[in-house]
Structure 1
């Protein structure tokens, strides 16, 4: 009987199989990382958990610098991540409430927010009795200083900014969002919004209040929340307790909602959407929650396609004969030599030409609103749906791009009008 022959290649082959399988597992783990980690240039920090968003400290080391008077507000403190290896950070301006100071009311949140990857400027107002509109103007002045003159301006992305405030300062945050629709997020705490409601706010806004607040009541905040446009991304978190001053101390019931909101809208970080949609992942201390989920940030506005926009009735192109804000869009003979006919459609729903965005003038929603160009700011009046039936509708109003009075001649104005199926409302991107 012959002795069995030892196959010396067997162990080697087995090792090769094991190594190959292990490599496949590792490759699968790499591929399985969330797409946002590869595609979102604004993502900062590790993958979040319910515990991490409720923490009093994030993962970034922080520092601070004082700001003196002379910049449109009384004084302030800037808090910032010391990390310089991950690019720029989004930023938030924060203002305290009526008669309050930053040191007494808001300073607790400065290093906390910065440790999660934001630059923060907390301010004192020119007068502690400044009204909500004055506080809104000072929040915007603080952001302008932060991005244009401050010693940390090179750490800040000027296109990713937000505002927060408490009480009269919360009303200030609403005022700032109303007056600067390019902001990416607003968080008013128990807002005393006496000079305005939210009917002209298009910035993603999360109201927070306490059900036992006798100063700014749950009923008042519900009315305020319901005044927002239907197209505005928003949420209203009503806490079970804490009174009017719930946000003026290191309250984790605040932190676990604020961090996801800022990350979603300022950093376009969809890793945090699950904490807010389709419901709160952590309902600790929450009496009620209203929202407009699903909270899909607009992205970076990267171009997807470009070309001319041809009118079905006129066989002429939508043309912008200038580059200044307010220039009227019109019909004109199609020509590859006219730069005002080269439109770029972006992932954010914009239609861009010569570096400007097609804009429903004054955020108008009525028939006859002019279609103009304006500096891009991310507002709903600058977002457009290109539909399968050839219409182009405004995201804010739902109205159609229309060649005025069914005109077909050069110079015919482009306006918004109720969609009616006319050929003067049908367009082809080519």
Structure 2
């Protein structure tokens, strides 16, 4: 009897040790999937999960498609993403490469064929939402999917469809527009409440950087958002296997679909800018109601409890003015935004200068070109946002080290 009691005590002790040594992050986040990520693992063409696929018949509001899913049954349900191709395209010909790639990182993916190749953005949005409903309610893998953690991706007109789907269903956890283009050009994201990422091509002449700059600017100031522009690629970058695209897209989905802030380190600030010509991001990326970002190789910002400095506006040295505001701050760093406003006449280019305070450094600028010489900072317009109409505006952002302040800005312009 004594031996039996001793054995039971030993077993209970081992169980207690197991519970006590369980990683806190996994215990705090039941949606966390896969091993701790590294820069190499995020850039890999396959994650840690084996995958399988099953065909989707036409009907249920869709033109058919394919579901890709992790075969692991020991980690509970997975978050899901629906993908739709662009105008006149087929998923099987263009985005099918993304299915097993994403599934291997712990997502259930449904790639759909549209009812008609000429369906517009609105119809593609309807079909994305129908795909998620089919996936979670009637598909053969519905028991693998968490219906509360869904997201959408689309390319071109499908990208506009993904953004439209986010407007229609604000319960979505994430939306990604790959060169998202609206045929009428009148899409507004002012009512968007879904964490939204743009991924685009620097040499895209169909959905241009200028168009996307205007679209991105319609997002609410409080929206979780990011914009990645890939160096030297055209409108069709998403139709080919693309590591640069995926090493930014996967962390976005992990953060907002899986509440997995282990991945914040890759985007706040951008850890690897190789092959990326422009990056805009509203850090820190923390899922609504989710845990704070995990410690990482690159410190991840956390919200500041200190009010941001008031915007400063300084008379221009030419026909423009520049105003500054702090959009985020954290211990040892901050994110700022500068708005450039033209005067009573149009301008074709602009330059903003200021002097950094003690301990401040600028590490990254988007929507402009940085030149720093000691504490003197100069930012000139990018190739696509130098022309501003009379009384019009544009903006650039930056990440900096140190404590935020209210810099005295000067703005000069070219007529």
The answer (yes or no) to whether the contact 2:202–2:234 under 8 Å persists in 1 is yes
1:197 offset after TM fit, Å?
1.8
1:36 offset after TM fit, Å?
2.1
Residue by residue over 1:276-319, the C-alpha shift from the partner in whole angstroms, topping out at 9 and shown as x without a partner, is: 01x11011111111111001112369xxxxxxxxxxxxxxxxxx
Residue by residue over 1:152-196, the C-alpha shift from the partner in whole angstroms, topping out at 9 and shown as x without a partner, is: 000000000000010000000001000000000001000013452
1:38 offset after TM fit, Å?
2.1
2:49 matched residue in structure 1: 60
Higher-Rg structure is 1
Q: Are residue 83 (structure 1) and residue 84 (structure 2) matched?
A: no
- The number of aligned residues is 274
Once the two structures are superposed, the pairs formed by residues 348-359 of structure 1 within 5 Å of their partners are none
Q: Are residue 171 (structure 1) and residue 150 (structure 2) matched?
A: no
2:115 matched residue in structure 1: 126
SS of match in other structure, 2:87: coil
| Residues 64, 182 of structure 1: alpha-carbon distance in 2 compared, 3 angstrom cutoff | same
SS of match in other structure, 1:247: helix
Q: Which has the higher strand share?
A: 2
Q: Are residue 203 (structure 1) and residue 184 (structure 2) matched?
A: no
Which of 80, 84, 100 is the equivalent residue of 2:89?
Answer: 100
1:238 matched residue in structure 2: 229
The answer (yes or no) to whether the contact 2:189–2:215 under 8 Å persists in 1 is yes
Give the whole-Å Cα distance in 2 for the aligned partners of 1:53 and 1:32.
26
Once the two structures are superposed, the pairs formed by residues 42-57 of structure 1 within 5 Å of their partners are 42-57=31-46
The answer (yes or no) to whether the contact 2:61–2:127 under 8 Å persists in 1 is yes
Q: Are residue 153 (structure 1) and residue 129 (structure 2) matched?
A: no
The answer (yes or no) to whether the contact 1:132–1:195 under 8 Å persists in 2 is no
2:242 matched residue in structure 1: 251
Give the whole-Å Cα distance in 1 for the aligned partners of 2:246 and 2:149.
20
Q: Are residue 294 (structure 1) and residue 284 (structure 2) matched?
A: yes
Give the whole-Å Cα distance in 2 for the aligned partners of 1:31 and 1:295.
29
Residue by residue over 1:21-75, the C-alpha shift from the partner in whole angstroms, topping out at 9 and shown as x without a partner, is: xxxxxx99x9898642221000000000111111110010000000111111111
The answer (yes or no) to whether the contact 1:36–1:270 under 8 Å persists in 2 is no
1:281 matched residue in structure 2: 271
Residue by residue over 1:194-215, the C-alpha shift from the partner in whole angstroms, topping out at 9 and shown as x without a partner, is: 4522111110000010111010
Which of 186, 191, 216 is the equivalent residue of 2:180?
Answer: 191
| Residues 225, 126 of structure 1: alpha-carbon distance in 2 compared, 3 angstrom cutoff | same
Give the whole-Å Cα distance in 2 for the aligned partners of 1:174 and 1:116.
23
Once the two structures are superposed, the pairs formed by residues 236-385 of structure 1 within 5 Å of their partners are 236-277=227-268, 279-299=269-289
Q: Are residue 180 (structure 1) and residue 164 (structure 2) matched?
A: no
The answer (yes or no) to whether the contact 2:187–2:215 under 8 Å persists in 1 is no
Give the whole-Å Cα distance in 2 for the aligned partners of 1:241 and 1:31.
50
Give the whole-Å Cα distance in 2 for the aligned partners of 1:80 and 1:271.
22
Q: Which runs of 5+ in 2 are unaligned?
A: 1-15, 292-415
The answer (yes or no) to whether the contact 1:215–1:244 under 8 Å persists in 2 is yes
The answer (yes or no) to whether the contact 2:160–2:180 under 8 Å persists in 1 is yes
| Residues 134, 49 of structure 1: alpha-carbon distance in 2 compared, 3 angstrom cutoff | same
Aligned-residue Cα RMSD (Å) equals 2.0
SS of match in other structure, 2:239: coil
